[in-house]
Amino acid sequence: MQERLTPVRGRVVRSLSVGENLSATAPLVVVLPGLGLTFYARHTAAALAARGLPCAVLDLPGFGSDRPRSTRPDIHALGLTAARWVESQASDRPVVVLGHSTGAQAALTAALALGVRRTRLSLVMAGPTFCPQQRRLTGLALATALAYRDDSPNEFDPAEVWRGRGGIAAILGSGLSDAPEDRIVHLRAPLTLTSGAHDAYAPFDWLDRLARSARNAPSVRTARLGGSHNNLFTHPDEVAGLVALAAQDAAAAG
Protein backbone atom coordinates (compact mmCIF):
# COMPACT_ATOMS: atom_id res chain seq x y z
CA MET A 1 0.00 0.00 0.00
CA GLN A 2 1.19 3.49 -0.83
CA GLU A 3 0.89 6.37 1.62
CA ARG A 4 -0.43 9.57 0.08
CA LEU A 5 -0.75 13.01 1.65
CA THR A 6 -3.38 15.25 0.06
CA PRO A 7 -4.11 18.89 0.95
CA VAL A 8 -7.84 19.37 1.59
CA ARG A 9 -9.16 22.74 2.78
CA GLY A 10 -5.90 23.73 4.46
CA ARG A 11 -5.39 20.35 6.17
CA VAL A 12 -3.51 17.26 5.02
CA VAL A 13 -5.44 14.01 4.59
CA ARG A 14 -3.40 10.83 4.79
CA SER A 15 -4.59 7.87 2.73
CA LEU A 16 -3.36 4.35 2.05
CA SER A 17 -3.80 3.48 -1.62
CA VAL A 18 -3.55 0.19 -3.47
CA GLY A 19 -4.08 -0.43 -7.18
CA GLU A 20 -2.98 3.00 -8.38
CA ASN A 21 -1.53 1.33 -11.49
CA LEU A 22 -4.98 0.04 -12.49
CA SER A 23 -7.22 1.68 -15.08
CA ALA A 24 -7.77 5.37 -14.43
CA THR A 25 -11.40 4.92 -15.50
CA ALA A 26 -12.21 2.07 -13.12
CA PRO A 27 -14.44 2.99 -10.16
CA LEU A 28 -12.44 4.13 -7.15
CA VAL A 29 -13.38 2.60 -3.80
CA VAL A 30 -12.92 5.02 -0.90
CA VAL A 31 -12.92 3.32 2.51
CA LEU A 32 -13.90 4.96 5.80
CA PRO A 33 -13.03 2.47 8.55
CA GLY A 34 -14.72 2.32 11.93
CA LEU A 35 -13.48 4.58 14.74
CA GLY A 36 -10.85 6.00 12.40
CA LEU A 37 -8.72 2.83 12.64
CA THR A 38 -7.25 1.92 9.26
CA PHE A 39 -5.25 -1.26 9.94
CA TYR A 40 -8.07 -3.81 9.77
CA ALA A 41 -9.32 -2.52 6.40
CA ARG A 42 -6.11 -3.32 4.54
CA HIS A 43 -7.05 -6.90 3.62
CA THR A 44 -10.25 -5.76 1.93
CA ALA A 45 -8.37 -2.99 0.11
CA ALA A 46 -5.94 -5.56 -1.30
CA ALA A 47 -8.82 -7.87 -2.27
CA LEU A 48 -10.49 -5.00 -4.15
CA ALA A 49 -7.31 -4.22 -6.06
CA ALA A 50 -7.07 -7.91 -7.00
CA ARG A 51 -10.50 -7.49 -8.61
CA GLY A 52 -9.27 -4.51 -10.66
CA LEU A 53 -10.68 -1.84 -8.36
CA PRO A 54 -8.26 0.81 -7.05
CA CYS A 55 -8.86 1.56 -3.40
CA ALA A 56 -7.97 4.33 -0.96
CA VAL A 57 -8.36 3.87 2.80
CA LEU A 58 -8.72 7.34 4.30
CA ASP A 59 -6.93 7.91 7.60
CA LEU A 60 -9.56 10.17 9.12
CA PRO A 61 -9.24 11.96 11.45
CA GLY A 62 -5.61 10.79 11.40
CA PHE A 63 -4.84 8.13 14.00
CA GLY A 64 -2.53 6.27 11.63
CA SER A 65 0.43 8.60 12.10
CA ASP A 66 1.79 11.35 14.32
CA ARG A 67 0.80 14.03 11.81
CA PRO A 68 -1.69 16.73 12.86
CA ARG A 69 -5.30 15.61 12.67
CA SER A 70 -7.01 16.41 9.37
CA THR A 71 -10.45 16.94 10.91
CA ARG A 72 -12.42 16.65 14.13
CA PRO A 73 -13.16 13.16 15.56
CA ASP A 74 -16.85 13.31 14.67
CA ILE A 75 -18.69 11.15 12.12
CA HIS A 76 -20.10 14.13 10.23
CA ALA A 77 -16.77 15.98 10.12
CA LEU A 78 -15.14 12.78 8.86
CA GLY A 79 -17.79 12.33 6.19
CA LEU A 80 -17.58 15.89 4.93
CA THR A 81 -13.78 15.75 4.78
CA ALA A 82 -14.02 12.47 2.86
CA ALA A 83 -16.40 14.10 0.38
CA ARG A 84 -13.95 16.97 -0.15
CA TRP A 85 -11.13 14.47 -0.68
CA VAL A 86 -13.18 12.65 -3.32
CA GLU A 87 -13.98 15.89 -5.13
CA SER A 88 -10.30 16.81 -5.23
CA GLN A 89 -8.98 13.38 -6.22
CA ALA A 90 -11.72 11.65 -8.21
CA SER A 91 -13.87 14.32 -9.80
CA ASP A 92 -14.16 12.52 -13.16
CA ARG A 93 -14.59 8.84 -12.28
CA PRO A 94 -17.20 6.61 -10.62
CA VAL A 95 -16.76 6.29 -6.85
CA VAL A 96 -17.89 3.77 -4.27
CA VAL A 97 -17.86 5.07 -0.71
CA LEU A 98 -17.42 2.07 1.58
CA GLY A 99 -17.92 2.79 5.27
CA HIS A 100 -17.69 0.25 8.04
CA SER A 101 -19.15 0.50 11.56
CA THR A 102 -19.10 4.17 12.63
CA GLY A 103 -17.37 4.70 9.28
CA ALA A 104 -20.66 3.65 7.66
CA GLN A 105 -22.35 6.58 9.38
CA ALA A 106 -19.57 8.89 8.15
CA ALA A 107 -19.87 7.37 4.66
CA LEU A 108 -23.58 8.22 4.63
CA THR A 109 -22.67 11.85 5.36
CA ALA A 110 -20.09 11.74 2.55
CA ALA A 111 -22.54 10.22 0.05
CA LEU A 112 -25.23 12.78 0.87
CA ALA A 113 -22.74 15.60 0.31
CA LEU A 114 -21.33 14.09 -2.90
CA GLY A 115 -24.78 13.33 -4.30
CA VAL A 116 -25.49 17.03 -4.67
CA ARG A 117 -22.98 17.26 -7.53
CA ARG A 118 -22.36 13.78 -8.93
CA THR A 119 -24.38 10.81 -10.14
CA ARG A 120 -21.74 8.11 -10.70
CA LEU A 121 -21.68 7.21 -7.04
CA SER A 122 -22.73 4.32 -4.82
CA LEU A 123 -22.67 3.79 -1.08
CA VAL A 124 -21.80 0.63 0.85
CA MET A 125 -22.67 0.62 4.54
CA ALA A 126 -20.97 -2.40 6.13
CA GLY A 127 -21.75 -3.31 9.74
CA PRO A 128 -23.59 0.03 10.17
CA THR A 129 -23.95 1.32 13.72
CA PHE A 130 -26.07 2.05 15.82
CA CYS A 131 -29.62 0.70 15.83
CA PRO A 132 -31.96 2.56 18.23
CA GLN A 133 -31.80 0.02 21.06
CA GLN A 134 -28.00 0.27 21.07
CA ARG A 135 -28.00 4.03 21.63
CA ARG A 136 -28.42 3.29 25.33
CA LEU A 137 -25.51 1.93 27.34
CA THR A 138 -27.27 -1.29 28.34
CA GLY A 139 -28.17 -2.14 24.76
CA LEU A 140 -24.70 -1.21 23.53
CA ALA A 141 -23.02 -3.38 26.19
CA LEU A 142 -25.16 -6.40 25.32
CA ALA A 143 -24.37 -6.05 21.62
CA THR A 144 -20.65 -5.52 22.25
CA ALA A 145 -20.44 -8.81 24.16
CA LEU A 146 -21.44 -10.67 20.97
CA ALA A 147 -20.41 -8.44 18.08
CA TYR A 148 -16.77 -9.59 17.83
CA ARG A 149 -17.24 -13.33 18.36
CA ASP A 150 -15.35 -14.24 15.15
CA ASP A 151 -12.66 -11.57 15.54
CA SER A 152 -9.28 -11.36 17.24
CA PRO A 153 -7.05 -8.63 18.73
CA ASN A 154 -4.66 -9.05 15.79
CA GLU A 155 -7.03 -6.95 13.70
CA PHE A 156 -5.85 -3.74 15.34
CA ASP A 157 -2.55 -1.86 15.41
CA PRO A 158 -1.85 -1.02 19.09
CA ALA A 159 0.05 2.16 18.13
CA GLU A 160 -2.90 3.40 16.06
CA VAL A 161 -5.32 2.69 18.92
CA TRP A 162 -3.02 4.50 21.37
CA ARG A 163 -2.76 7.58 19.17
CA GLY A 164 -6.52 7.66 18.80
CA ARG A 165 -7.42 6.91 22.42
CA GLY A 166 -9.20 10.22 23.07
CA GLY A 167 -10.58 10.72 19.59
CA ILE A 168 -12.01 7.20 19.41
CA ALA A 169 -14.32 8.00 22.32
CA ALA A 170 -15.42 11.21 20.57
CA ILE A 171 -16.21 9.34 17.33
CA LEU A 172 -18.16 6.76 19.30
CA GLY A 173 -20.13 9.51 21.04
CA SER A 174 -21.02 11.21 17.77
CA GLY A 175 -22.13 7.88 16.32
CA LEU A 176 -24.36 7.16 19.29
CA SER A 177 -26.14 10.50 18.87
CA ASP A 178 -26.82 9.88 15.16
CA ALA A 179 -30.00 8.48 13.61
CA PRO A 180 -28.96 7.16 10.18
CA GLU A 181 -32.44 5.77 9.57
CA ASP A 182 -33.67 9.38 9.38
CA ARG A 183 -30.85 10.71 7.21
CA ILE A 184 -30.78 7.83 4.71
CA VAL A 185 -34.16 8.87 3.31
CA HIS A 186 -32.33 11.69 1.48
CA LEU A 187 -29.88 9.34 -0.26
CA ARG A 188 -30.26 9.28 -4.06
CA ALA A 189 -27.39 6.93 -4.88
CA PRO A 190 -27.41 3.11 -5.15
CA LEU A 191 -27.09 1.59 -1.68
CA THR A 192 -25.60 -1.68 -0.44
CA LEU A 193 -26.12 -2.76 3.17
CA THR A 194 -24.15 -5.64 4.61
CA SER A 195 -22.84 -7.17 7.80
CA GLY A 196 -21.29 -10.37 9.08
CA ALA A 197 -23.70 -13.14 9.98
CA HIS A 198 -22.60 -12.91 13.63
CA ASP A 199 -22.43 -9.12 13.83
CA ALA A 200 -24.58 -8.16 16.82
CA TYR A 201 -24.10 -4.46 16.04
CA ALA A 202 -25.84 -4.84 12.68
CA PRO A 203 -28.58 -7.49 12.94
CA PHE A 204 -30.58 -8.15 9.82
CA ASP A 205 -33.67 -6.32 11.08
CA TRP A 206 -31.53 -3.17 11.37
CA LEU A 207 -30.28 -3.58 7.80
CA ASP A 208 -33.88 -4.12 6.72
CA ARG A 209 -35.03 -0.95 8.49
CA LEU A 210 -32.30 1.09 6.81
CA ALA A 211 -33.19 -0.45 3.44
CA ARG A 212 -36.85 0.47 3.86
CA SER A 213 -35.92 4.00 4.92
CA ALA A 214 -33.78 4.50 1.80
CA ARG A 215 -36.87 4.95 -0.34
CA ASN A 216 -35.26 7.54 -2.64
CA ALA A 217 -32.23 5.39 -3.49
CA PRO A 218 -32.48 4.04 -7.06
CA SER A 219 -31.51 0.56 -5.86
CA VAL A 220 -30.92 -1.14 -2.52
CA ARG A 221 -29.04 -4.38 -1.97
CA THR A 222 -28.70 -6.21 1.36
CA ALA A 223 -26.37 -9.11 2.07
CA ARG A 224 -25.21 -11.19 5.01
CA LEU A 225 -21.60 -12.34 4.66
CA GLY A 226 -19.34 -14.48 6.80
CA GLY A 227 -17.80 -13.42 10.09
CA SER A 228 -18.86 -10.95 12.73
CA HIS A 229 -18.36 -7.21 13.10
CA ASN A 230 -14.87 -6.81 11.62
CA ASN A 231 -15.33 -9.08 8.63
CA LEU A 232 -13.38 -6.64 6.46
CA PHE A 233 -10.36 -8.27 8.14
CA THR A 234 -11.58 -11.86 8.41
CA HIS A 235 -13.54 -12.21 5.15
CA PRO A 236 -12.02 -9.67 2.73
CA ASP A 237 -12.76 -11.60 -0.47
CA GLU A 238 -16.47 -11.85 0.37
CA VAL A 239 -16.63 -8.15 1.16
CA ALA A 240 -14.70 -7.26 -2.00
CA GLY A 241 -17.08 -9.34 -4.13
CA LEU A 242 -20.05 -7.40 -2.81
CA VAL A 243 -18.30 -4.05 -3.23
CA ALA A 244 -17.52 -5.01 -6.83
CA LEU A 245 -21.27 -5.14 -7.46
CA ALA A 246 -21.59 -1.68 -5.92
CA ALA A 247 -18.84 -0.50 -8.29
CA GLN A 248 -20.96 -1.68 -11.21
CA ASP A 249 -23.85 0.33 -9.76
CA ALA A 250 -21.65 3.44 -9.58
CA ALA A 251 -20.40 3.02 -13.15
CA ALA A 252 -23.95 2.62 -14.45
CA ALA A 253 -25.51 5.42 -12.42
CA GLY A 254 -26.47 8.63 -14.17
- The fraction of the chain above a pLDDT of 90, given in percent, is 89
Whole-model pTM: value is 0.96
Rg (CA), the chain: 16
User: C-alpha distances in angstroms, 190 versus 72, 167, 208?
Assistant: 28, 31, 15
Omega of the bond leading into 130 within 30 degrees of 0 (cis): yes
Considering only CA atoms, which of 249, 10, 250, 235 is closest in space to residue 100?
A: 235
> What's the CATH class of domain 2-252?
alpha beta
Is residue 25 over pLDDT 90?
no
Is residue 23 over pLDDT 90?
no
What's the pLDDT tens digit per position in 216-233? 999 999 999 999 999 999
Residue 254's pLDDT band (cuts 50, 70, 90): low
**Strand order from edge to edge, sheet including 95-100:** 2-8, 11-18, 55-59, 28-32, 95-100, 121-126, 191-196, 220-225
Domain ranges of the chain: 2-252
Is residue 12 over pLDDT 90?
yes
pLDDT (average), residues 28-52 = 97
